[in-house]
Amino acid sequence: MANSLGQPIGLDIELLQRVALEAGCQVQFSAGIPPQRQLALLRSGAQDIQFAASVRPDREVFAWFSPAYRNETMSMMVRQASIKYVDVTDVAQLAERDVAVIAPFSGWYGADYAAVLPKLEKLGRLSRYKTTEQGLELLNTQHGDVLIGDLYSFLYVAKQQKTPLPQTVGQPLNDDVVHYMYSKKSMHSQDVSALNDAIDRLKRNGELKKITDRYARPTP
């Protein structure tokens, strides 16, 4: 997200800023770059770090991975008024039910998720979003029935915007840890070690958890 001055804010921004401070590093953020473009920049060394990444063998060719720094829960969500009518318990059913789906522009959230997206696209029942705010707006303006995304991010943004909180349905698509990816082309091993050691210290003293908890359980 961006604040009123256009500066980046949000959970992953705060976490990386705190990790960098602990490591004695400075970070600069780039905005408006689609995830697939970010991967290309990381591969070439034009970008140093990408956050909220899952470890995959194809990415280990061009990136190192940090220790896990937070959990990510990818869920199916609906409007409060729709929860009684959306009969979906797992992601594979999205193509079988008569529902329109709002999904992130990219990302890996398991084989079942990857398999259902082409089916939904062929049926004309798939919309994409690039930002949390955009995804929430598509749901609230009834451009789709089921929203797929990071549960904590959407709850936080809904609270900030004072809009109805989306309600989860079915089982989470993905509930796992995420990591930083470091470009092997541009990152020095000393910086990687400093950042990784900082993550370990901040996990042990509970500081990363305190930041995450503010987003996971936003105050009313």
Let me know whether 79 and 164 are in one domain.
Answer: yes
Beta strands in the chain (DSSP E): 49-53, 63-65, 70-78, 101-104, 126-129, 146-150, 167-183
Let me know whether 80 and 159 are in one domain.
Answer: yes
Decide: pTM greater than 0.85.
no
pLDDT at 7: 84
Q: Of 93, 102, 99, whose CA–CA distance to 166 is shortest?
A: 102
Let me know whether 63 and 123 are in one domain.
Answer: no
pLDDT at 128: 95
Let me know whether 167 and 78 are in one domain.
Answer: yes
Let me know whether 53 and 122 are in one domain.
Answer: no
Query: What average pLDDT does the chain have?
Result: 91
Residue 220 confidence (pLDDT) above 60? no
pLDDT at 112: 87
Interval 126-178: pLDDT, tens: 999 988 899 999 999 999 999 999 888 898 889 888 999 999 999 888 888 99
Residues 169 and 29: their CA atoms lie apart, in Å, by 34
Q: For the chain, what is the domain count?
A: 2
What's the Cα-to-Cα distance from 36 to each of 4, 33, 60, 94, rounded to whole Å?
Answer: 27, 8, 16, 24
In this predicted model, which residue has the larger pLDDT, 181 or 74?
181
- Which of 60-64, 81-85, 212-216 is the least confident region? 212-216
Which domain does 130 fall in, by range?
Answer: 73-175
Let me know whether 171 and 77 are in one domain.
Answer: yes
Give the end of a domain, one of 160, 175, 190: 175
11 φ/ψ angles, rounded to the nearest 5 degrees: -55, -55
Let me know whether 158 and 110 are in one domain.
Answer: yes
Residues 107 and 114: their CA atoms lie apart, in Å, by 9
Amino acid at 30: S
Let me know whether 148 and 194 are in one domain.
Answer: no
